[in-house]
Structure 1
Amino acid sequence: MKIAFILGAANYKLALYRATIDTASALREKGIEVNYIFWEYPGTLQGNDQYIPIFGLSKETRVSKWFLKLLSSLLGRHFYYFLFSRFFAAQLYRRIRSENYDALFFHGMSCIPMHQGIKNEFIIVHSCKAQNLLGKLSGIKRKFYRKIYQKIYSDKNLLSVSKDVSTDMLNGIGASPKTIGEIYNGFNFARLKTAMQNPCSVTLPDAYIMSAGRPDRTKRFDILLEAYAKTRRAYPLVIFGDGKKLGELKEQAAKLGLSNDVIFPGFCSDLLGAYRNAVLYVSSSDVEGLPTVIVESLVSETPVVATDAGGSNELLAGKLAKWIVRRGDADGLAKAIDDILLDPPEVSEKDIDFLDYRVVADKYADVVNKSLERSSGK
């Protein structure tokens, strides 16, 4: 069996690759060939991975780069992708036709410029598209783009990384997919535990409450700061991440009198080492897919308080469900933080064993086998 994970403009360093590499490794251990396909150069290619330059998408040639820049600035990037999809897809499929793949999995938003060519392949939806893609839009523009995304994701085989993502696709985007189901990101817990033994390069307190992510409208660190100000402040709060709203968060922390209690280290490339001394991880997001940071926290045996966003409900299930708080509820978040620190639950990778990369690999193999059976008429 031979399959491809299409990541498009991603590369070996970005989260989309890191979220799939463990599952790909397990599939290879089963004797299944898994190749990655990029149309931006990802760095030195590994194994049989492919770099396929797509004119109008790739930036490695000057003409292609300016074609992309000019038309996407005039039309809007996703509308440009939508209009030229048949042109882009023809280039991709022409290059991979001879490879005889048994299945193609378009991860993330690599499906958008290729939607005209996708027939019986699979789209892995990693986030809540209605909230991420339509969240900043309003009025006619919102309705216009909702129709575009409906067209892109309808009549396709969709696999979402959480039930909340599937609901968002059906109700938020209003797509009518050919099929839809869930397939989680897989994790090698042993590899994560080993990486967590390496110290974080950032100088940190001996113990702290932790949160991480790009400061934007979806992570709601403003709610986290508001909630933290209402807690007993038993430990300092460390918020990792860098972005345009970081300055606003620092100003908010100062206004709340938290300047001495909140640390903003910025982006941290070796974040795994930071979980070891965290007494608690807090996710205050309004929008999530399947939050990797919550997975990493549980693997590091760090308790978690999280809002009811995305797959958080699926990660904090059973005895951990009591630590789920309604989105935007600063008071509820503050109470949960204080309560969990008084009596922290024992957590580990056993709480999320359904995310074991070998379990997820079995599901991918099952999806491919069923697809092959359908195509052969069995």
Structure 2
Amino acid sequence: MKIAVVVNSLKVGGMERVAVNLTNAFHKAGHDVELIYLKDRPIELQPDDPSVPVHLFDVKKAALRTGFGALWMMACRLANIFARKSYARFFAYAECKAFAKSLSALEASNNTKFDLIVFRGHGTFEHVWPLQDPRFVFVCESVQGQHHYGRFSQRAFQGIYGNRNMVCISQGVMENFQAITKLHDIRPRSATLISNPLEYDRIAEQSQADKNHLHPRPYILGLGRLSPIKNVPLLIEAYHILVNRFGVTQDLVIVGEGRERAAIEEKVAQLGLSNRVFLKGQQMPPYPWFAHADLFTLSSKSEGLGMVLIEALACGAPVAATRCPGGVSQIMQGPLSDYLADMTPEALAQAMYNALTTPHDEDYQAAVQSSLAQFDGQRIVQTYLDTFTTDAMQ
């Protein structure tokens, strides 16, 4: 099959990594796949095989090249003053035309049309939602607020989700999607649960780095974007309890970058942890950090799926996590659920201490393998094909 995977950008991020993972999985399964991104930012992630084509469809710049596009942007920015979060929805009328033109040009140059076009993430399909094409599949990566667009939420969600082939990456995201469609009377063409793929071979290969090049002492790891949704201050507060109540000796290492960095550094200083907590910034690949951690902890307020948890388990790291909305509970099943915590510093500290000190028996290892099996790339590729090929959709 001829397949395109579309994502907002190729910066380092969870959604971007799974877009590349899906591209790799389709390629390894023998399909003709191409990767498309929409924002002209530096490429930090790309397919394993350099022969896989990567294309920039800079839909914003293409729209602005026309006189109408520039005037339309001004009108959309003005409308956004009166209708919260309306800018992206309205400007998409110009961007989608640019996307359709670029897609047609690419298909003409290939001398063939794509059979399946997979858009990863809400922010990605906001750019193209006015287009209707039966080949399009919109993949919901995260939990959305039911009134995300304020008083215009019903109309906005109907435009984005109505008559679409939808994929949700976890049961938690599916339940959230179903609640939105019920509340706003939306009728998607289809809604299917398909998890994100994980590339175990690449993780195994890239996790084998000398730990002395990472951090000089044993450490607990937090890894992810430094943004409010990742709730890193909660992790730091829980670590403070671990040090003072439980006497743990491991440092806390935080890998990632984002706009919350200054606030996190201030939190560390306030708690007197500057000699115990280390912000390492963005690190690629992330897998050695998982492999050499004594514990990985996810402190998020919500997670569409929680790919970092899966990656940590694949690297052999013990894990603890907040019991947050989304897909975390889908991963943390059986004995792994013992290390889920309510979203308080005390509860998370206790779960972290238990994960650090409890021997992991055969039942635990079996639960890890069962959880990882859900994210096998070839199984996920086959599910896409079985669900969205022309024959399957008839």
Q: Give the shorter-chain TM-score range.
A: 0.7 to 0.9
Shift of residue 105, structure 1, vs aligned partner: 1.4
SS in 2 for 1:226: helix
1:283 matched residue in structure 2: 298
Counterpart among 212, 221, 229 of residue 210 in structure 1: 221
Asked if structure 2 preserves the Cα contact closer than 8 Å seen for 1:122 and 1:157, the reply is yes
SS in 2 for 1:105: strand
- Residues 88 and 201 of structure 1: CA distance in aligned 2, closer, same or farther (over 3 Å): farther
Identity percentage over the alignment?
A: 22
SS in 2 for 1:185: coil
TM-score if structure 1 supplies the norm length? 0.84
1:104 matched residue in structure 2: 117
Shift of residue 301, structure 1, vs aligned partner: 0.8
Counterpart of 1:191 in structure 2: which amino acid?
R
Aligned: 1:49 with 2:60: no
Backbone CA RMSD of aligned residues: 3.2
Counterpart of 1:142 in structure 2: which amino acid?
G
Give aligned pairs, total.
365
2:4 matched residue in structure 1: 4
TM-score if structure 2 supplies the norm length? 0.80
1:312 matched residue in structure 2: 328
2:274 matched residue in structure 1: 259
CA distance in 2, matches of 1:62, 1:204: 51
Q: Which moved more, 1:66-75 or 1:24-33?
A: 66-75
CA distance in 2, matches of 1:20, 1:288: 16
2:129 matched residue in structure 1: 115
Q: Which moved more, 1:91-100 or 1:208-217?
A: 91-100
Counterpart of 1:315 in structure 2: which amino acid?
I
Q: Which digits, 9 at most, give the CA deviation of each residue in 1:33-65, with x for residues without a partner?
A: 222233446769954636364553559979899
CA distance in 1, matches of 2:26, 2:96: 31
- Residues 103 and 286 of structure 1: CA distance in aligned 2, closer, same or farther (over 3 Å): same
Q: Which digits, 9 at most, give the CA deviation of each residue in 1:294-327, with x for residues without a partner?
A: 111101111111112321111111221121223x
Q: Which digits, 9 at most, give the CA deviation of each residue in 1:153-205, with x for residues without a partner?
A: 22211101111112222325745422112111111212101100124796413
Matches within 5 A, 1:209-358: 209-231=220-242, 232-234=246-248, 235-309=250-324, 310-326=326-342, 328-345=343-360, 347=365, 348-349=368-369, 351-358=371-378
CA distance in 2, matches of 1:275, 1:50: 29
Asked if structure 2 preserves the Cα contact closer than 8 Å seen for 1:306 and 1:324, the reply is yes
Asked if structure 2 preserves the Cα contact closer than 8 Å seen for 1:202 and 1:268, the reply is no
Q: Which moved more, 1:349-358 or 1:91-100?
A: 91-100
Aligned: 1:165 with 2:173: yes
CA distance in 2, matches of 1:80, 1:329: 40
1:360 matched residue in structure 2: 380
CA distance in 2, matches of 1:147, 1:199: 53
CA distance in 2, matches of 1:21, 1:295: 16
Asked if structure 2 preserves the Cα contact closer than 8 Å seen for 1:54 and 1:91, the reply is no
- Residues 55 and 303 of structure 1: CA distance in aligned 2, closer, same or farther (over 3 Å): closer
CA distance in 2, matches of 1:298, 1:60: 45
Asked if structure 2 preserves the Cα contact closer than 8 Å seen for 1:230 and 1:331, the reply is yes
Asked if structure 2 preserves the Cα contact closer than 8 Å seen for 1:208 and 1:237, the reply is yes
CA distance in 2, matches of 1:200, 1:72: 50
Shift of residue 225, structure 1, vs aligned partner: 1.6
Matches within 5 A, 1:65-80: 73-76=77-80, 77-80=87-90
2:204 matched residue in structure 1: 193
CA distance in 2, matches of 1:10, 1:301: 30
SS in 1 for 2:253: strand
CA distance in 2, matches of 1:187, 1:170: 26
Q: Which moved more, 1:298-307 or 1:46-55?
A: 46-55
